[in-house]
Amino acid sequence: MLTKKKVRITLLLIFGVLILLNIIASKFFVRLDFTEDKRYSLSDATKNILKNLHDPITVTAYFSENLPPNIAQVRQDFRDLLVEYANKSGNMIVYEFVNPNETQESEIKAQQAGIRPIMINVRERDQIKQQRAYLGTVVQMGDKQEVIPFIQPGAAMEYDLSTTIKKLTVKNKPWIGFLTGNGEPSINEMPQLKEQLDILYNIDSVKIKADSTIPEKFKTLVIISPKDSLTEGQFTVLDNFLARGGNILVAYSAVDANMSTAMGNQVKSNFGDWLKKKGIEVDKNFLIDANCSTVMVKQQQGMFIFQTPVKFPYLPVINSFAKNPITEGLESVMLIFASPLKFNSLDTSIKITPIAFSSKKSGTEKPPVYFNAARSWSSADFTMGSLPVAAIAEGKLAGNKNSKLVVIGSGQFIINGSGQNAQQLEPDNVNFVSNAIDWLSDDTGLVQLRTKGVTARPIDPSLEDSTKTLLKYLNFLIPIFLVIGYGIFRYQMNLKKKNKLISENYV
Amino acid sequence: MRQVLVITKRELNAFFDSLIAYILIIVFLGISGFFTWLYGSDIFFTGQASLQPFFSIAYWTLFFFIPAITMRMIAEEKKTGTIELLLTKSVTDWQVVLGKFFATLLLIIITLAFTLPYYITVWSIGPIDHGAVWCGYLGMIFMSMALVSIGLFASSITNNQIVSFLLSLFIGVFFIIIFDVLSNNFTGSFGQLLSYLSLSTHYDSISRGVIDTKDLIYFLSITLGGLILTESILSRRNIVE
């Protein structure tokens, strides 16, 4: 017998169970990460860092409560992340959450620790109110502490936390020298690179004179875009550095552009000659690539001035990399006025491997070049196929000790510049150079973390516009025609069946 | 189970023998395809080898597409009286509800299968993340399950198809938009609750490529809730005062 009461009780019970189930599920859950790069799981680099912890680390998270759900989600995600960190580190990581908005003292404490408040809009009693919110954390180990002033949601969270922990735990940071004094930019003109290197290394600039030596503490020397020539004595110093097992990274292009005259010329530096002796020749031509970045060009139409992006093949975008620890996870590096590399090593004890290439539609142009943004490019301009733009050389580069050399055929691509002209670089540009320095210094611990969360999955840039249009309309129309086709087919079949049924000799 | 299968098969056949199903599918594919390939933030505009543009537009097209399919499922049978005929057969109310549910779900899965050329095309022109794509399709199927059960419930309480369509949109709009919008204006645990109830939170979570038991339980709960309500509405005729 079914009565109203019975139905009501059953419904109430079932919905009670469902709600309870949801509450339980929101506290205890399992996550399966199906993304190809495991973007939402801890990377091996993090696991390694956590496994090698010897001293306990305290994470104090200053997170405001009572925030709109989209921001409160960051707090929840961060808590989930910390739970996982604590598990993976064998409880070496201890964490606590503090609500700085609770009392005035805790707010002052948070600000003194270096946490920066953000202003958010909260709706309260039909009014939009501004509220200070804190989303930062302090990481402590012993008497050392590091601050993450603002936690960014997403994959950046893991990067921030892991690098901060790494920063605290690294003992005796190795020294990296930046060569100056021959027209190279100062370290301060490369803030993005500096920030990343600061985690693992001490950085200092190095000037070399003939008959001097590079201080013993430097294991790796970085030479970015030397504009002036070096003396023979200076080259001998570099050779001696290699001979004692030092490693060198060179980012050098044999060509340069002067944007005020819109002219491109050869660089008046003899640095290329030294590299040539090591078996890597930096070609004295501009690399041009159909797969390139754009520049903004002002166009006047009547009274109006428009800014239109125009493809500029002198800014090649590199998507093709050889498998190598340096290029792991890199997706697109944008070079600026680059030169292709050539290899001519006669010495069999030196192993040279190209690691990055331009696209299949590339070419070179001999300086001097006049840059004409209005020039229309066709495939006839790109006749050379893919050209190497970066290479590594290992072996007895000078003397009898093994050493390593990385050469990248562009110097500008890692320089932010200073003052008003400073520009933001592509994240992979910085990743490329820091990975190379890690490889040279035998520390590839952060490589995986660095390129994690870079989500660019570019569509093949060599697609012709006509192919694109074809693909667009094919994809738009094919499913529709398939459905119509099936409908007609089914209609015909039904008609046949019907005809058979009404035909006389059925039965 | 056999009875469920029989009903599913019959319903599915009836769909494909009616013109209205083709019109609906073509409208769904047309709108989804238009915004995935030709206009707005389409695939070539974003320049990324990802089906995300399709998943975000399908979130909206499914919201309209599903009530349009489910509106006649029970309402029409009630109007023409065939529901009495069906229920006097040796099938339980549950088997009828489940049969109709699976038939609609299968129709949606078949419709989604017609978008596989999108996947193959993007696969051929760029480094697509296969895991994320399959999770996106899975997310769409889970969302469809929830919307179908809401649609069936709406269809069971009235014998007018238009009322059923509007009612199902009305309930759906809470899960699709209203909870989401409201949750951004409230703080604390009430905001959390609204955000949890919002379908988009869970759909986004799956379609980025992560399968979380939280989201599965959420979708299954709504589906089950809707189906149970539908069944109890159908069984109302057996109630003894």
DSSP sequence for B108-129: HHHHHHTTHHHHHHHHHHS---
| Chain A neighbors of B228, CB-CB under 8 A | 11, 14
Q: What is the pLDDT of residues A435-464, one digit of tens each?
A: 899 888 876 667 777 766 555 677 877 788
Q: Which of A380, A379, A322, A323 lies closest to A356 in space, CA to CA?
A: A322
pTM reported for the whole predicted model = 0.72
Asked if A384 contacts A364 with a C-beta cutoff of 8 angstroms, the reply is: yes
Residue A471's pLDDT is 92
- 76-105 in chain B: CB under 8 A from chain A: none
Q: What is the pLDDT of residues A246-282, one digit of tens each?
A: 899 999 988 988 888 888 888 888 888 898 888 899 9
Residue B44's pLDDT is 85
- Tell me: pLDDT of A1 over 80: no
A354/A212 Cα distance (integer angstroms):
32
**H helices within A296-375, ranges in order?**
none
| Chain B neighbors of A65, CB-CB under 8 A | 188
Residue of B19, B45, B46, B125 to mutate, interface with A, max A Cβ within 10 Å: B125
How many degrees, rounded to 5, is the angle at CA B53 between CA A81 and CA A34? 35
Does ipTM surpass 0.95 in this model?
Answer: no
B222/B212 Cα distance (integer angstroms):
16
Residue of A11, A35, A321 to mutate, interface with B, max B Cβ within 10 Å: A35
Min Cα–Cα distance to chain A from B94, Å: 14
Does A14 touch chain B if contact means CB atoms closer than 8 Å? yes
Q: What is the pLDDT of residues B37-69, one digit of tens each?
A: 998 778 888 788 889 889 989 999 999 999 999
Residue B217's pLDDT is 95
Q: Which of A130, A163, A158 lies closest to A146 in space, CA to CA?
A: A163
Q: Which of B121, B26, B57 lies closest to A470 in space, CA to CA?
A: B121
Does B237 touch chain A if contact means CB atoms closer than 8 Å? no
Does A457 touch chain B if contact means CB atoms closer than 8 Å? yes
Q: Which of A249, A436, A408 lies closest to A336 in space, CA to CA?
A: A408
Inter-chain touch B208–A40, beta carbons under 8 Å:
yes
Q: What are phi and psi of A136, to 5 degrees?
A: -130, 175
Which amino acid is located at A419 in the chain? G
- Tell me: pLDDT of A472 over 80: yes
Residue B121's pLDDT is 93
- Tell me: pLDDT of A427 over 80: yes
- Tell me: pLDDT of A492 over 90: yes
Provide the pLDDT confidence category of residue A488 given band limits of 50, 70 and 90: very high
The neighbouring-strand residues paired with A342 are A281
Q: Residue A239: which H helix or E strand, with range?
A: helix A232-243
Is the peptide bond preceding residue A69 cis, with omega within 30 degrees of 0? no
Which of A257-266, A354-363, A407-416, B150-159 shows the lowest mean pLDDT across its residues? A257-266
Provide the pLDDT confidence category of residue A50 given band limits of 50, 70 and 90: confident
Sorted by sequence, the CB contacts under 8 Å of residue A246 that are 6+ apart come out as A214, A218, A219, A220, A221, A403
How many degrees, rounded to 5, is the angle at CA A381 between CA A376 and CA A387? 130
Asked if B168 contacts B150 with a C-beta cutoff of 8 angstroms, the reply is: yes
Residue A287's pLDDT is 92
Return the DSSP state at A419.
G
- Tell me: pLDDT of B155 over 90: yes
Mean pLDDT of A478-504: 90
- Tell me: pLDDT of A144 over 90: no
Residue A445's pLDDT is 67
Sorted by sequence, the CB contacts under 8 Å of residue B121 that are 6+ apart come out as A471, A474, A475
Contacts made by residues A235-238, CB under 8 angstroms, sequence distance 24+:
A235/A274, A236/A210, A237/A208, A237/A209, A237/A210, A237/A211, A237/A212, A237/A213, A238/A208, A238/A274
Residue B136's pLDDT is 93
User: Mapping DSSP to helix (H, G, I), strand (E, B) and coil, where does residue A320 land?
Assistant: strand
Q: Would you say the C-alpha torsion A182, A187, A189, A190 has a positive or negative sign?
A: positive
- 123-182 in chain B: CB under 8 A from chain A: 125-132, 134-135
Does A12 touch chain B if contact means CB atoms closer than 8 Å? no
B147/B24 Cα distance (integer angstroms):
16
A99/A88 Cα distance (integer angstroms):
26
Segments of A3-50 assigned E as strands: 31-33
Q: What is the pLDDT of residues A321-359, one digit of tens each?
A: 988 888 887 888 999 999 999 998 777 788 899 999 998
Q: Name the residue among B17, B44, B132 with its Cβ closest to that of A472.
A: B44
Inter-chain touch B194–A1, beta carbons under 8 Å:
no
Q: Name the residue among A21, A35, A482 with its Cβ closest to that of B129.
A: A35
More confident residue, B26 or A423: B26
Token look-up 């006097």 returns B88
Mean pLDDT of B16-30: 92
Q: What are phi and psi of A53, to 5 degrees?
A: -75, 135
Q: Which of A261, A282, A257, A264 lies closest to A272 in space, CA to CA?
A: A282
Helix pair B199-207, B213-234: axis angle to 10 deg: 130
Inter-chain touch A480–B29, beta carbons under 8 Å:
yes
| Chain A neighbors of B231, CB-CB under 8 A | none
- Tell me: pLDDT of B201 over 90: no
| Chain B neighbors of A474, CB-CB under 8 A | 117, 121
Q: Name the residue among A18, A25, A473 with its Cβ closest to that of B224.
A: A18
Return the DSSP state at A115.
P
B222/A97 Cα distance (integer angstroms):
33
Residue of A480, A481, A484, A498 to mutate, interface with B, max B Cβ within 10 Å: A480
User: Mapping DSSP to helix (H, G, I), strand (E, B) and coil, where does residue A388 land?
Assistant: strand
- Tell me: pLDDT of B140 over 70: yes
Mean pLDDT of B180-199: 82
Provide the pLDDT confidence category of residue A20 given band limits of 50, 70 and 90: very high
The neighbouring-strand residues paired with A206 are A179
Min Cα–Cα distance to chain A from B125, Å: 5
Residue A380's pLDDT is 85
Residue A325 corresponds to which tokens in the numbers above? 């620890």
Return the DSSP state at A185.
P
B162/B157 Cα distance (integer angstroms):
12
Residue A506's pLDDT is 60
- Tell me: pLDDT of B225 over 90: yes
Q: Which residue in B has a C-alpha nearest to residue A470's C-alpha?
A: B37
Inter-chain touch A15–B196, beta carbons under 8 Å:
no
B65/B33 Cα distance (integer angstroms):
14
Mean pLDDT of B161-185: 90
Does A39 touch chain B if contact means CB atoms closer than 8 Å? yes
Q: Which residue in A has a C-alpha nearest to residue B115's C-alpha?
A: A479
A355/A436 Cα distance (integer angstroms):
11
On average, the pLDDT of chain B sits at 90
How many degrees, rounded to 5, is the angle at CA A220 between CA A214 and CA A221? 60
- Tell me: pLDDT of B88 over 60: yes
Residue B66's pLDDT is 95
- Tell me: pLDDT of A133 over 80: yes
| Chain B neighbors of A466, CB-CB under 8 A | none
Return the DSSP state at B238.
G
User: Mapping DSSP to helix (H, G, I), strand (E, B) and coil, where does residue A364 land?
Assistant: strand
Residue A507's pLDDT is 56
Q: Name the residue among A7, A34, A73 with its Cβ closest to that of B211.
A: A34
User: Mapping DSSP to helix (H, G, I), strand (E, B) and coil, where does residue A72 land?
Assistant: helix
Q: How far is CA A113 from the centre of its chain?
A: 29
- 36-65 in chain B: CB under 8 A from chain A: 36-38, 42-44, 47-50
- Tell me: pLDDT of A425 over 80: yes
On average, the pLDDT of chain A sits at 85
Q: Which residue in B has a C-alpha nearest to residue A129's C-alpha?
A: B185
The percentage of residues in chain A with a pLDDT greater than 70, rounded to a whole number, is 96
- Tell me: pLDDT of B10 over 80: yes
| Chain A neighbors of B188, CB-CB under 8 A | 65-66
Inter-chain touch B211–A7, beta carbons under 8 Å:
no
Provide the pLDDT confidence category of residue A477 given band limits of 50, 70 and 90: very high
**H helices within B34-178, ranges in order?**
43-46, 52-70, 75-80, 82-87, 93-113, 116-125, 130-156, 161-173
